[in-house]
A and B are shown apart, each in its own frame.
Chain A
């Protein structure tokens, strides 16, 4: 380590100490900025201390990163990771330069597992060569800000190209990850829970993105689909098909809103959260663990002893009503939420809240790409709409066949809304800022602590 980088690290650490211990602020991005300003090559100089795993993609980055961390720790590795949300270059640099890295209990090199924003992958790999890239999925997410799925993937590829020695461990169920002219070793994970005699080959539903074959730009078909454009795809015009999977979900045994039971490579798992997409997150962590020689039994133990890590779906008791709040922000995510409601055995009511502030995405047209019509197949007994753009939702749900809706223009009435539902089970699906407003209401009425 050069004198300059030592100085940069010391300064960053003391800035971190000052922010964290003196000012009680959690920030890692200021120390990162300072360290880079003093020594732009700071990352290069510390990279020999650990192996780097970069986790990127549209959905599931944060949970997957947390799961990978637990899995590797269970395998005896010392793991460094970035706090959720600080997935840009400064925050990451801050994390890396301020963390004291202890040797791994298993005697192997410590591992840094970093959640990286798609557009920041190249900035990281320009100065530090990862051992592995983990690619979760790429879905259309508020295009008005982030661009198209292929543009997003191009940004990731630019980062991958800096590190030709790194393994690319990708979701094989997503056709986009078969694209890209990079020479890295590629390994895939995915779902193989359906036996060939139960395949139903067909094209994806019309509102699915990213279904063109990379070979001849023909429309792909699928033997089966899981969600979004994920599944076992094949070309009808040439031999292109989903690549062989190194790690796979071998059975899906039970799906409920609260937990899922399934097997990966024939090892049974139970995770305490609903949603197929969370099985993908578990599968991804399993795949990374196996790549680093963590035994399946250790991975299982890591999931079970960290059950709370899955628990982002919060349940709140409002005068005897069991209220579950879920975030909605794009069609794929909303369809996943509706799929989860299909597994709800109890009668329930649904309050949908739509805002269109910057953090929600200012274009509300995505609600027309989500399949609210499918709610007719659930045990839904009542539906209500609210939020600043309640009109959009009201008309969306009306045209989906829900003519009888309670309307709450003003979120101060949200508790009244919950109480007036006919069922004990209540779901609230809200966009980001609507959820913040909702939590503020629940907080000031004493149903949740703090409000945030």
Chain B
């Protein structure tokens, strides 16, 4: 019997769902189930309210350019709730376009500038940006391996993006690029960590291939809601999928 419950908000799961991003929720649920935690899934889409104090984990995936443009317009209406959620230490995973939209802006391949909600300090230019010294004009596509400098863990995935992201104040990389390109192909950073927000270009999806990260984020979510239980201890006994 599941004694504990967490509430997962899938932001724009009906529109930002390319390249298996939903798999991150499948993986989170898979680990949660093994420690008797029930995961309640909620879609938060266009026109819906993100009620930050009812959410234990949020996912914001990537989409096609058209859908991202529509989502960007709606996301603005959720800025304050998301800012509060993030500043209060709410765990959030943002992939690809989702990662970009939490920053200041992104520039699409055709040059269109789309404003993000600026709750984090990074920004994203496109692959034609003048000062790119690496792979200018090329999508960054292929297998990627990074190392998380805090934990020493290695993460495996597949990156596929034209945008070039540059981290800002208070942000550190999710990992240092070992092979592949990462945020911009130039500074060896991949993804972002800011409070309990994890941003990444990793498809794969990241939680399915890197169970250690999935378990850590799950433990963070559970510890916020049920602080009296040692969730890290419980999760160490669960087999971790990494490949």
Contact = CB atoms under 8 A, between A and B. Distances in A.
Contacts of B142: 362
30 contacts: A140-B18, A144-B141, A148-B64, A148-B65, A149-B64, A203-B14, A207-B17, A209-B17, A212-B70, A218-B46, A219-B46, A362-B158, A363-B19, A363-B141, A363-B203, A364-B158, A365-B23, A365-B158, A365-B203, A366-B19, A368-B20, A368-B22, A369-B17, A391-B243, A392-B209, A396-B23, A398-B30, A399-B23, A399-B26, A399-B241
Interface centre among A140, A203, A365 (most CB of B within 10 A): A365
B239 to A, nearest CB: 10
A209 B15 CA distance: 7
B27 interface: yes
B45 interface: yes
Given A363-B158, A365-B158, A206 B14 contact: yes
A399 B208 contact: yes
A235 to B, nearest CB: 13
Interface residues of B, number: 34
A391 B22 CA distance: 19
Given A365-B23, A369-B17, A206 B10 contact: yes
A211 interface: yes
Given A143-B160, A212-B66, A206 B17 contact: yes
A24 interface: no
B204 interface: yes
Contact of A396 (B17, B64, B208): B208
Contacts of A392: 209, 243
A204 B43 CA distance: 12
Max chain B Cβ within 10 angstroms of own Cβ: one of A212, A362, A363? A363
Nearest to A367: B20
A204 B14 CA distance: 8
B205 interface: yes
Contacts of B141: 144, 362-363
A445 interface: no
A416 interface: no
Nearest to A401: B30
B243 A212 contact: no
Given A209-B17, A363-B160, A150 B64 contact: yes
A181 to B, nearest CB: 15
B14 A368 contact: no
Contacts of B204: 364-365
Interface in A130-185: 140, 143-144, 148-150
Contact of A148 (B66, B139, B203, B208): B66
B67 interface: yes
Interface in B201-233: 203-205, 208-209
B20 A399 contact: no
A391 B243 CA distance: 7
A312 interface: no
A212 B15 contact: yes
Contact of A219 (B26, B45, B139, B209): B45
A338 to B, nearest CB: 16
B203 A395 contact: no
A343 interface: no
Nearest to A206: B13
A345 interface: no
A55 to B, nearest CB: 25
A218 B70 CA distance: 9
Given A363-B158, A363-B160, A369-B20, 15 more contacts: A143-B19, A148-B64, A207-B17, A208-B14, A209-B17, A211-B14, A219-B45, A219-B46, A363-B19, A363-B141, A365-B19, A365-B23, A395-B209, A396-B208, A399-B241
A197 B144 CA distance: 51
B98 to A, nearest CB: 14
A367 B208 CA distance: 11
Contacts of B205: 365, 368
A217 interface: yes
A336 to B, nearest CB: 18
A255 to B, nearest CB: 27
Nearest to B143: A362
Nearest to A220: B14
Given A140-B18, A366-B19, A369-B22, A399 B27 contact: yes
Contact of A368 (B26, B66, B67): B26
Contacts of B10: 206
Contacts of B139: 144
Interface in B1-59: 10, 13-15, 17-23, 26-27, 30, 43, 45-46
Contacts of B241: 395, 398-399
B163 to A, nearest CB: 14
A218 B73 CA distance: 12
Contacts of B21: 368
B238 to A, nearest CB: 13
A150 B243 CA distance: 34
B17 A144 contact: no
Contacts of B45: 219
By CB atoms of chain B within 10 A, which of A203, A207, A211, A391 has the most? A207
Contacts of A400: 26
A364 B203 CA distance: 9
A395 B208 contact: yes
Nearest to B160: A144
Interface string A223-237: 000000000000000
Nearest to B159: A363
Query: Which of B17, B160, B209 counts the most chain A CB atoms within 10 A?
Result: B17
A203 B27 CA distance: 24
Contacts of A364: 158, 204
Given A212-B67, A365-B20, A368-B22, A219 B243 contact: no
A212 B14 CA distance: 10
